[in-house]
Amino acid sequence: MAIREGEVQEFTLEQLKHLVSERALRGETILLNMGPQHPSTHGVLRLLVELDGETIVSVVPDIGYLHTGIEKHCESKTYTKIIPLTDRIDYLSPMSNNLAYVMAVEKLMGVEVPLRAQYIRVILTELQRIASHLVWLGTHALDIAAMSVFLYCFREREMILDIFEMVSGQRMMVSYFRVGGLWRDVPEGFEDAVRAFLKLMPSRINEYERLLKRNPLWLQRTKGVGVISPEDAIAWGVTGPSLRGSGVNYDVRKAQPYSSYDHFEFDVPLGENGDVYDRFMVRIEEMRQSLRIIDQALRRLPKGPYITPDRKVTPPPKEELAWSMEALIHHFKFWTEGFSPPPGEVYHAVESPRGEFGVYINSDGSPKPRRVHFRAPSFVNLQALPIMAKGCLVADLVAIIGSIDIVLGEVDR
Amino acid sequence: MSIQEVVEAVRTRFGEALQEVIEFRGETTLVVRRESLVDLCRFLRDDPACRFNFLSDLCAVDYWPERPRFAVNYHLYSLPHNLRLRVKVFLEEEDPVVPTVTGIWPTANWHEREVYDLFGIRFEGHPDLRRILLPEDWEGHPLRRDHPLVVEPVQFSFNWREIDSRKPYVRE
Q: What digits encode the pLDDT tens for the residues A1-45?
A: 455 555 656 666 677 777 777 777 777 888 888 878 777 777 788
Q: Does B166 reside within a domain?
A: no
Write the pLDDT tens digit of every residue in B161-171. Answer: 877 777 766 65
What's the whole-number mean pLDDT along residues A368-393?
91
Question: How many angstroms away from the CA of B65 is the closest CA of chain A?
Answer: 12
Task: Please report the pLDDT score of residue A295 as a whole number.
Answer: 93
- Inter-chain touch B24–A346, beta carbons under 8 Å: yes
Give yes or no for B172 touching A (CB within 8 A): no
Count of domains for chain B: 1
Q: Band of the pLDDT at B134, cuts 50, 70, 90? A: confident
Task: Please report the pLDDT score of residue B89 as a whole number.
Answer: 92
Write the pLDDT tens digit of every residue in A285-300. Answer: 999 999 999 999 999 9
Ranges A380-384, B7-11, B80-84: which has the least confidence: B7-11
CB pairs A-B closer than 8 Å: 105
Best B110, B126, B134 member to test A by mutation, with max A CBs in 10 Å, is: B110
Task: Please report the pLDDT score of residue B171 as a whole number.
Answer: 55
- B-chain CB neighbours of A108 within 8 Å are 25
Instruction: Identify the CATH number of the domain in which residue B131 sits.
Output: 3.30.460.80
Q: Does B158 reside within a domain?
A: no
Note the ipTM here.
Answer: 0.87
Taken in order of first residue, the domains within chain A and their CATH numbers are: 13-62 (no CATH), 72-309+340-375+396-405 (1.10.645.10)
Closest C-alpha to A109, from A315, A342, A334: A342
Q: Does B164 reside within a domain?
A: no
Alpha helices in chain B (DSSP H): 3-14, 37-46, 108-119, 160-165, 168-171
Size of chain A in residues: 413
**Share above pLDDT 70 across residues of chain A, in percent, rounded to a whole number:** 96
Task: Please report the pLDDT score of residue B129 as a whole number.
Answer: 86
CB A47 within 8 A of CB A59: yes
- A-chain CB neighbours of B132 within 8 Å are 63-64
- Inter-chain touch B75–A3, beta carbons under 8 Å: no
Residue B64 structural domain? 3-137
Residue A277 has phi, psi (to 5 degrees) of -65, -40
- Inter-chain touch B135–A64, beta carbons under 8 Å: yes
**Share above pLDDT 90 across residues of chain A, in percent, rounded to a whole number:** 38
A→B contacts (Cβ < 8 Å), by residue, are: 1-4, 9, 18-19, 63-64, 67, 69, 71-73, 75-76, 107-108, 110, 234-237, 248, 250, 255-256, 344-347, 349, 356, 358, 360, 362, 370-371, 373, 375, 379-380, 383, 412-413
Write the pLDDT tens digit of every residue in B10-34. Answer: 888 888 888 888 888 888 998 999 8
Residue type, A213: K
Residue A193 scores a pLDDT above 60: yes
**Nearest residue on chain A to B106, judged by CA atoms?**
A236
Q: Does B113 reside within a domain?
A: yes
Task: Please report the pLDDT score of residue B170 as a whole number.
Answer: 60
Q: Does B156 reside within a domain?
A: no
Task: Please report the pLDDT score of residue B64 as a whole number.
Answer: 85
Task: Please report the pLDDT score of residue B161 as a whole number.
Answer: 81
Q: Does B128 reside within a domain?
A: yes
Residue A407 has phi, psi (to 5 degrees) of -120, 120
- B-chain CB neighbours of A345 within 8 Å are 24, 27, 29, 61, 73, 86
Residue A47 has phi, psi (to 5 degrees) of -125, 135
